[in-house]
A and B are shown apart, each in its own frame.
Chain A
């Protein structure tokens, strides 16, 4: 792969997956703090591993594996804890349902946040299983449990907010 081919492929992947990977980084960290730093770490791994990408797996599967694995070893930078929440990774549109979802996601452990994010991104159970390296059945069971727990909490929040 020549340098120009590499740069072109990187630009294509960036264009197609940037928003998705930012959403994954944001939901994994469960705050807006450090999102851009983690995203840059992910893109750095993508860039450096691009010559090894042989299209044996779908680009999405390959990218999400890198993103999840980078997030797992990501060390939060303490000095950025005070960063403003109006940083560049703040979502543009704030749908009320998404605000509730954000709040509930923060209550989930990181592995469930990853599973839920992949589900919300529209991946099939088989694809999620391929990214994470677990069985399709287990993926289905875990996602059903997460959805069930979310439903319960969603109802509680809604009943709390009712006048």
Chain B
């Protein structure tokens, strides 16, 4: 029994037509709408961070001149939030940040490296943020009773534990499953 004739298989393959998904103009409209949607999400996230930052900055300005610990606390929270966001954006592997037009072998190597380092980098950044927030909140509450410090620390710890768990779930769902195919590809 003969195997396939690869030359005729090649021509059959190349003749294989898929119905055009959409006309180019329609696809462009879809892409523009997708880009707009992504942009709106970005704007919403930026807006949320800006509101938080403005609120923190306004609170900072409202503080009495002599309340240095509160000012230092708010400033710490503000800087911590902005640094965390900047670091987080650099951690998440996206085709845009890996040059999608690069040679695929090189692209796969970059993606593997990012995905493998992602949990460790996230952990480092997240712990740094936790410490900064803890310091900021406790500075802010410096004049308050001990119970306020304990409550704030407990809430913050719970929020960070939840955040870590969410990150782990998202990593297991979205990024870890990409590794086997990328590694196989890189072993070519």
Give the complex CA separation of A11 and B27 in angstroms: 10
CB of B104 within 8 A of CB of A155, answer no
Complex interface residues of chain A between 22 and 51 (CB less than 8 A to chain B) = 22-23, 26, 36, 39-40, 43-45, 47-49
List CB contacts (< 8 Å) of B26-85 with chain A: 27-28, 30-31, 34-35
- Given contacts A109-B184, A110-B181, are A65 and B31 in contact (CB under 8 A)? no
Nearest chain A CB to B59's CB is how many angstroms away? 39
A10 to B29, CA, bound (A): 12
Smallest Cβ distance from A97 to chain B, in angstroms?
6
Other A-B pairs, 6, CB within 8 Å; known A39-B21, A91-B17, A92-B18: A43-B31, A45-B95, A48-B35, A62-B101, A97-B8, A114-B104
B147 at the binding interface (Cβ < 8 Å): no
CB of A131 within 8 A of CB of B185, answer no
Q: Which residues from A are CB-within-8-Å of B184?
A: 109-111
Is B188 positioned at the interface, with any CB of A under 8 Å from its CB? Answer: yes
Cβ contact within 8 Å between B103 and A72: no
Q: Contact between A88 and B21 (Cβ–Cβ < 8 Å)?
A: yes
Whether A154 pairs with B188 at a CB distance below 8 angstroms is no
Complex Cα distance A35/B10, Å? 21
Chain B: how many interface residues by the 8 Å CB criterion? Answer: 50
Q: Which of A44, A89, A133 contacts B104 (CB 8 A)?
A: A133
The interface centre, meaning the residue of B13, B20, B34, B100 with most chain A CB atoms within 10 A of its CB, is B100
Contact string against A for B residues 1-34, beta-carbon threshold 8 Å, 1 for contact and 0 otherwise = 1111010111011111111110011011011001
The 3 residue pairs across chains A and B that have the minimum distance between CB atoms: A133-B103, A151-B3, A133-B105
Complex alpha-carbon distance, A133 and B110, angstroms: 13
A155 touches B3 (CB 8 A): yes
CB pair A159–B21 under 8 Å, yes or no, is no
Using a CB–CB cutoff of 8 Å, the interface residues on chain A facing chain B are: 7, 10-11, 14-15, 18-19, 22-23, 26, 36, 39-40, 43-45, 47-49, 52-53, 62, 65-66, 68-70, 72-73, 75, 88-93, 95, 97-98, 100-101, 109-111, 114-115, 119-122, 130-134, 138, 142, 147, 150-152, 154-155, 158-159, 162
- CB–CB B104/A68 < 8 A: yes
Q: A23 touching B28 by the CB < 8 A rule?
A: no
- Name the one of B1, B34, B93 contacting A159, with C-beta atoms under 8 angstroms: B1
| B16 touching A95, Cβ below 8 Å | yes
Question: B160 in the interface, Cβ–Cβ < 8 Å?
Answer: no
Tell me, yes or no, whether B143 is within 8 Å of chain A by CB. no
**Contact call B178/A40, Cβ cutoff below 8 A:** no
Inter-chain contact A101/B4, CB cutoff 8 Å: yes
CB distance from A137 to the nearest CB of B (A): 12
Determine the chain B residues whose CB is within 8 A of the CB of A162 once the complex forms. 1
- In the bound complex, do residue A134 and residue B13 qualify as a contact, i.e. CB atoms below 8 Å apart? no
In the bound complex, residues from chain B placing their C-beta under 8 Å from that of A95 are 12, 16
- Out of B13, B94, B98, B105, name the residue touching A23 (CB < 8 Å): B13
In the assembled complex, how far is the CB of residue B112 from the closest CB belonging to chain A, in whole angstroms? 10
* Given known contacts A65-B100, A98-B16, A154 and B3 CB-to-CB distance under 8 angstroms: yes
Instruction: Tell me, rounded to whole Å, the shortest Cβ–Cβ distance linking B65 to chain A.
Output: 49
A89 contacts B101, CB within 8 Å? no
* Residues of B close to A147: CB separation below 8 A: 6
Q: B27 contacts which of A19, A43, A152, A159 (Cβ < 8 Å)?
A: A43
